Structure 1
């Protein structure tokens, strides 16, 4: 009964009435003293704020199919609205949510007056107080993280750090994005030393012992948020004057992440360890959101033609073309690459086979027959919902899960990678290249060049791709770097946003599909270009028209 009351109280806290989404007027059956006089109830409030962390495990609506990474197989999916011209302020695919921020502001304001004096004789009092004193820093991180997600989508957003009345919420104005980014960076600087690196190593603490807390914010997660924020701030979408100082700060912050990880045993491991039931234990993980036991990604994305397979997010030929040849390190269409048009997947970057299921693959384990992705094949068009691109997804899916009706194995652990070390080698490479001006440049502060940073990733134990050469021109480096980033971070929620921060919208106007036909024992491969809608206004999301109607002070983004 007590749990039911707590949940009811928490639910009531988020009631919005008819005010704008920025409102945090508290409506609760229980007063604040009920929540902030008990450790478990206080912890429940913080856990609820954690629940607003995002993830983009492959499903209907995943942003991988809203860019050139993939194409969604079913024509009814709402994600197609990003690329067919339906996107508008009245059909906004809204990410305009301040609910997590409201709850964070409420916690930070009200927890200052928390009184646990009646519990001081409990045997765990000292340990619980240590945990309670950390909560404020965890919540400040979460609020900064939510603001980063808003800023990358909308640019200028209202920066609110207190509990608002309904009247105040309906009068706020947008804060310049540079101020929002600066707020995030400042918060990270102030809280980074207040959080542990490893909760299992805390002494005399509630997080220690045989069942330590997992999934809480660490120091390295704070450093990662700062570094990613500074990279976005330095990028063309937000750094319109190409201020070199912003690129320098981004390089410094991403170098700090790399150095800190090196000092604390966080290192690059196998690429294949990035996903799977135990990926949160992988060597390079900085912060992972553990989603729990589920088979939803598999049911959504396993191939048509196998029992209960529904297709879904199908990797594009654009993505396949980004995987270079393993022997030469050249793109498929470069002279001397070694590409064989009659055997297009032979001799490619090993990450291709780990990420994408191609014609003839035995995928997944429970599929009795190798994939027939050719026209008329068992897993191909014209079957409704079959892959339109010629490919099926592997990454983030568990090939051992059985989704058949009679022998279904049920769900298994899935975790969304929020931050991992590989990203920050790439971030550093981009930032130091833009700051120093060439791919092989170094100085006394940045002793690792952009090429050297990327080669760290390409030299993974199960990848072993040829190094980037030091004599690349600026245009050559940018082209190869963006290709490398597309490959390394495929389906991890980066490509959609990278296109926008680079202002590279023209690359999204054409999606390439591979049409495969079978002729006896041989196959023919034909690239088919599919036009997609792009307008430069799409670099930023539209503020929902419903929000502007509630608060006319919220000016709309250009073009919407």
Structure 2
């Protein structure tokens, strides 16, 4: 860590406006272009220019490389065409692979070799969590240390700047500790020389400090920048600026994570939920949801059939995805970058481009239950209660199944297929031995993901062409996640499916039902409301379905202390034969035979795999900064 602090210090330069784009290096600049700290921080325009560099420290994990890996639980597996992404290292138990020095590329957005203002911030390939977070923490601390220099400003302007700085200091710490456990919480500007011996804190100690920053930020920031005097000067360009709702969302998430079994175990030795942290999380989420449900914010759940706008837009002039539901997103440089790889990384090469494919595992898709709200106990067996029939496994499923997943027989290509020999590929041939099932360049599992791309993103319909303006961006946090985190924290904080924060109107189960109703699925069945454990299973399954493939599963399994337990260590395919009459109008009506699931791989994990290993260069600096257990 000390190494990165010194690098950051050497790279840091104060300037009035971060938007300057000179190709000259700093040392080549005319000394007259430099300005004093007093000038740089004196007013809102100058200080905001300094602050906005922090937004460039938010890594776009879904478009960081040509193809992108961010689902590291049991939810996803790739075709065999490539093995360089971090998902492969995790499958092998090699968690060192997040570090760039181990293979020259690491995990992509987790770690790169460089983060300077002259390169990484203008190149998505060089932006990474590890370096950007330390850089951002130091920059936030420099800003906070210089707030007294902001003399030519209104109180509203001072609050806006300070609130952003506090939020980012907390957010970068939160992002680091969720992967690595308790770290030093740096809330001062560290000197560039001298002996620095900051000990690792417990997770709870870091979380408490982050909570204080998030709470202070929420109290300083507006719900909507458009309604502030400074925001009116940038009207229509404020949707990504840090606001009260973002701060409350991460205040709650920070508390829920601190209260989760893994983090509570690291802090106290108990493998249960921490009730007090869960109550604090519920209070923060309840405050947020009370505001949104009253109509006092710009946020609301996106209704079907526009649900896809949470993740991509098409034919809208590169409009930023997220609609009214995305609460926290980072900036982007070129919307079309999402087309170079992300729009092609899901579709089998037989109807697309690029060899490496990311596909849903069959065991994860099993989480999508039935439209009546009931789960499927065993996909290979009929279930009278839920109505599931293994001869018609795609029939009457949760509506989100049809939105997110391509299954056998779905009409994939909508337009013309010039070559007659390729006509059979119009429909997804995902049965065992089908043309979409090539293990190298297609689906190894019998499913294809469509959540982040339209099916027309193929070489025939060509939705990923420039003229179609397909823009893909997976948000960090959206309103649906807040409802689900509230449900979990209210359940565990108040020990009942009907538990609730005293200041918010909804119970845990009512919050889950908001999300199910939006999707058109039945509400939580009464059979799951008799105990905390029974309902917790449905809360977790709901997170698996609603937040599928959005990068949450790996950290959810970790914080629940389930990552190393079966069946969560397995990745499976679904195998079956087509039989009966093939429907070209409704693939869910197609009959199959010999349905079964086959294990593709089993991940051999132990207790040490709950935390990522820290860099050896850091843990070798001094004894108060030890390595994570087992590494």
**TM-score interval for Structure 1 and Structure 2 normalised by the shorter chain:** 0.7 to 0.9
Q: Which runs of 5+ in 1 are unaligned?
A: 1-15, 117-125
Give the alignment of 1:240-319 within 5 angstroms: 240=265, 241=270, 242-263=273-294, 264-265=296-297, 266-270=299-303, 272=307, 273-277=309-313, 280=321, 282-291=323-332, 292-294=334-336, 295=339, 296-319=341-364
The equivalent residue for 1:11 is none
Tell me how far apart the structure 1 counterparts of residues 343 and 414 of structure 2 sit (CA, whole Å). Answer: 12
The equivalent residue for 1:9 is none
Number of aligned residue pairs: 529
The equivalent residue for 1:337 is 386
1:95-151 deviations in whole A, cap 9, x for unaligned? 5431221222233334543576xxxxxxxxx79x95565222112111111111111
The equivalent residue for 2:174 is 148
Q: Which runs of 5+ in 2 are unaligned?
A: 14-25, 27-33, 112-128, 314-318, 418-425, 583-590
Query: How far did 1:440 drift?
Result: 3.2
Tell me how far apart the structure 1 counterparts of residues 484 and 388 of structure 2 sit (CA, whole Å). Answer: 26
1:190-223 deviations in whole A, cap 9, x for unaligned? 2213212122233x43534654433101111110
Query: Comparing both chains, which one has the higher relative contact order based on Cα–Cα distances under 8 Å and sequence gaps of 6 or more?
Result: 1
1:226 to 227, 251, 256: 251
2:542 to 448, 473, 484: 484
SS of the equivalent of 1:504 reads coil
SS of the equivalent of 2:93 reads coil
Give the alignment of 1:149-548 within 5 angstroms: 149-168=175-194, 170-202=196-228, 204-208=229-233, 211-240=236-265, 241=270, 242-263=273-294, 264-265=296-297, 266-270=299-303, 272=307, 273-277=309-313, 280=321, 282-291=323-332, 292-294=334-336, 295=339, 296-327=341-372, 329-333=374-378, 334-363=383-412, 368=417, 369-382=426-439, 384-401=440-457, 409-410=465-466, 412-441=470-499, 448-460=506-518, 462-469=519-526, 471-505=529-563, 506=565, 507-518=567-578, 523-524=592-593, 525-529=595-599, 530-548=601-619
Contact 1:199 1:208 in 2 (8 A): no
Contact 2:74 2:364 in 1 (8 A): yes
1:113 aligns with 2:149: yes
Change (3 A) 1:442 1:182: closer
1:14-58 deviations in whole A, cap 9, x for unaligned? xx9xx5123342454445447446866644432221112234327
Tell me how far apart the structure 2 counterparts of residues 549 and 366 of structure 1 sit (CA, whole Å). Answer: 60
Query: How far did 1:76 drift?
Result: 1.5
SS of the equivalent of 2:524 reads coil
Query: How far did 1:255 drift?
Result: 1.4
Change (3 A) 1:407 1:231: closer
Tell me how far apart the structure 2 counterparts of residues 537 and 309 of structure 1 sit (CA, whole Å). Answer: 35
1:46 aligns with 2:29: no
Tell me how far apart the structure 2 counterparts of residues 552 and 328 of structure 1 sit (CA, whole Å). Answer: 52
1:288-310 deviations in whole A, cap 9, x for unaligned? 33535131310222322124144
SS of the equivalent of 1:51 reads helix
1:422-460 deviations in whole A, cap 9, x for unaligned? 112211211122122222356865653322221111111
